[in-house]
Chains A and B, each alone.
Chain A
Amino acid sequence: MQIQQIDEQQAARQGDAAEMIIKTRDVDVFYGDNQALKHVSLDIPKHQITSLIGPSGCGKSTYLRCINRMNDTVDGCRVEGEILLDGVNIYGPEVDEVLLRARVGMVFQKPNPFPKSIYDNIAYGPRIHGLAANKDELDEIVLTSLEKAGLIKEVQDRLHSSGTGLSGGQQQRLCIARALAVRPDIILMDEPCSALDPIATAKVEELIDELKENYTIIIVTHSMQQAARISQKTAFFHLGEIVEAGDTEKLFTSPSDERTQGYITGRFG
Chain B
Amino acid sequence: MTDTNNSPVGSSWNSDKFMAGLAKRKRSERRFRLIGLAAILTALTLLAILLFSIFSKGYTAFVQTYITLDITFAESVIDKDGTRDPDAIRNANYAKLVQDALRAKFPEVEGRRNLRTLFSLVSNNASDTLRDMVEQDPGLIGKTVEIPLLAGDDVDMVNKGYIDRDLAEENRRVKDQELRWLDILEEEGDLSLHFNTNFFTQGDSREPEKAGIAGAMVGSFYTLLITMAIAFPLGVMTAIYLEEFAPPSKFNDLIEVNINNLAAVPSIVFGLLGLAIFLNVAHLPRSAPIVGGLTLALMTLPTIIIAARAAIRAVPDSIRQAALGLGASKQQAAFHHVLPLSMPGILTGTIIGLAQALGETAPLLMIGMVAFIADIPGGINDPATVMPVQIFLWADSPERAFVEKTSGAIMVLLAFLITMNALAVLLRKKFERRW
**Which residues of A come within 8 Å of B, CB atoms?**
68, 70, 73, 75, 98-103, 105-106, 108, 110, 112-115, 124-125, 128-129, 175, 178-179, 182
Contact = CB atoms under 8 A, between A and B. Distances in A.
A249 to B, nearest CB: 31
Contact of B326 (A73, A75, A110, A178): A178
A128 B332 contact: yes
A179 B318 contact: no
B318 A110 contact: yes
Question: Across chains A and B, which 3 residue pairs bring their CB atoms closest together, nearest first?
Answer: A102-B327, A112-B318, A106-B325
Contacts of A125: 326-328
B247 interface: yes
Interface in B306-343: 316, 318-330, 332, 336-337, 341
Contacts of A112: 316, 318-319, 321-322
A129 B328 CA distance: 8
B248 interface: yes
B433 interface: yes
Nearest to B316: A112
B325 A68 contact: yes
Nearest to B320: A73
Given A75-B248, A108-B321, A115-B433, 15 more contacts: A73-B320, A73-B321, A73-B324, A101-B325, A105-B326, A106-B325, A108-B318, A108-B322, A108-B325, A112-B318, A125-B326, A125-B327, A125-B328, A179-B325, A182-B326
A115 B342 CA distance: 12
7 contacts: A102-B326, A106-B325, A108-B322, A115-B341, A125-B327, A129-B327, A175-B322
Interface string B3-27: 0000000000000000000000000
B338 to A, nearest CB: 11
Contacts of A98: 327-329
B259 to A, nearest CB: 20
Contacts of A103: 327
A148 B181 CA distance: 94
Contacts of B325: 68, 70, 101, 105-106, 108, 179
A101 B322 contact: no
A102 B326 CA distance: 5
A108 B433 CA distance: 21
Contacts of B327: 98-103, 125, 128-129, 182
A179 B321 CA distance: 12
A114 B320 CA distance: 9
B181 to A, nearest CB: 72
A219 to B, nearest CB: 15
Nearest to A99: B327
